[in-house]
């Protein structure tokens, strides 16, 4: 019996060790940065994987919607989600890693609808436009508080289609993200899309792991993640990863 007990305890210890090395991290569709359809789930997922490898752990990516990913982090169902932009509301509920990479946010418009680019200098002026917004994006709360008319949706290509159909006037989006969707869904109409600076965007925008305050050992994990990323930076490996990915 003692031998069986030792065997079972050994299996339990192995199971716990394996679970400890398997870190659940939520993410979603945000090509060309991260996607289930991209090799290695995209360059940002590869970057997170490289940092985790430096920590000697393995990430378990869970693809879901952005609002659900945020709720999973808040409930402690996952260690973190990525990539997320810092906002005052999120700072109250989550911790953040050091910045993974930068993006630039713009407002896309239809050149057939506007003879010249719209000129928007204040939030008050933005209230005159119908804005196609995506659930879970960093700017939504700010624009809602400013009473900017929003047409909400779940898919980036839908918002761009609404723009061409005249249902919305402007679509806020990462410049590279927008260009990716235009090239892959609206190639024949690409010349219709123009872009202006995003009024509310602190360009460049930093993107981070959104880290749970409820997940067991999260603070220690976050410190280890930041330390591992700093080591990759010191060795020049992080810069090489970002450069190879065009980030």
Low-confidence residues of the chain, pLDDT below 70?
1-20, 200
How would you classify the pairing of strands 150-153 and 131-134? Answer: parallel
pLDDT for residue 190: 97
C-alpha span between 157 and 138 (Å, rounded): 18
Helix/strand/coil percentages in the chain, nearest 5? 45, 20, 30
Q: 212: how many CB neighbours lie within 10 A of its CB?
A: 26
Cis link prior to 83 (omega < 30° from 0)?
Answer: yes
Q: What pTM does this model have?
A: 0.81
pLDDT for residue 232: 96
CATH 3.40.190.10 in the chain, residue ranges: 2-101+205-244, 105-197
pLDDT for residue 20: 53
How would you classify the pairing of strands 80-84 and 171-174? Answer: unpaired
CATH for 105-197?
3.40.190.10
**Phi and psi angles of residue 103, each rounded to the nearest 5 degrees, phi first:** -135, 170
The fold of 2-101+205-244 is: D-Maltodextrin-Binding Protein; domain 2 (3.40.190)
C-alpha span between 188 and 178 (Å, rounded): 15
Q: Which two tokens stand for residue 96?
A: 């953040």
In terms of DSSP H, where are the helices of 76-134?
88-93, 123-126
């Amino acid at each position: 019996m003692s031998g069986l007990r030792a065997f079972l305890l050994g299996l339990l210890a192995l199971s716990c060790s394996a679970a400890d090395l398997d870190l659940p991290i939520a993410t979603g569709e945000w090509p060309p940065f991260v996607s289930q359809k991209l090799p290695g789930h995209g360059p940002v997922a590869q970057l997170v994987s490289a940092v985790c490898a430096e920590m000697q752990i393995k990430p378990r990516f869970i693809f879901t919607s952005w609002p659900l990913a945020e709720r999973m982090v808040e409930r402690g169902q996952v260690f973190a989600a990525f990539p997320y932009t810092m906002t005052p509301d999120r700072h109250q509920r989550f911790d953040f890693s050091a910045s993974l990479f930068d993006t630039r946010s713009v407002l896309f418009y239809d050149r057939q609808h506007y003879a010249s680019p719209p000129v928007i200098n204040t939030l008050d002026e933005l209230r005159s436009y119908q804005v196609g917004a995506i659930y879970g994006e960093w700017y939504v709360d700010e624009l809602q508080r400013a009473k900017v008319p929003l047409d909400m949706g779940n898919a980036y290509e839908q918002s761009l289609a609404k723009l061409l159909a005249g249902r919305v006037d402007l679509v806020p989006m990462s410049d590279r993200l927008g260009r990716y969707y235009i090239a892959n869904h609206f190639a024949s109409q690409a010349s219709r899309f123009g872009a202006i600076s995003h009024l509310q965007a602190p360009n460049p925008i930093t993107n981070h792991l959104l880290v749970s305050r409820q997940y067991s050992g999260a603070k220690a994990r976050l410190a280890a993640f930041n330390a591992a990323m700093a080591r990759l930076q010191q060795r020049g490996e992080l810069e090489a990863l970002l450069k190879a990915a065009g980030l």
